[in-house]
Amino acid sequence: MTLNLRTTLIFGGFISLIGATFYPIYFRPLTWLEEAKKEQAINRAGIVQEDVHPPGLKVWSDPFGRK
């Protein structure tokens, strides 16, 4: 196996590993927007924002809200 092919396979595998890691973290919530909104609603149920945040800090906003 030549040095260039080996180097290409190593870097290609590394880039693939990074892509496989970021898919469930970043890209899946963007593609399944409604499912992610429902999940966040379930996770945040029962949390009163004013009790969680110290005074003077910005209160949570919808991370999926569009500007």
**pLDDT tens by residue, 7-18:** 999 999 999 999
| Residue-wise pLDDT tens digits, 24-59 | 888 888 888 888 889 888 988 888 877 777 777 776
CA angle 31, 36, 40 (to 5 degrees): 160
Contact between 37 and 64 under an 8 Å Cβ cutoff? The reply is yes
Record the pTM: 0.48
Q: Which two tokens stand for residue 53?
A: 């945040």
Q: Helix, strand, or coil here: 9? A: helix
Cα separation, 66 vs 13, whole angstroms: 35
pLDDT, position 66: 65
| pLDDT of 62 strictly over 70 | yes
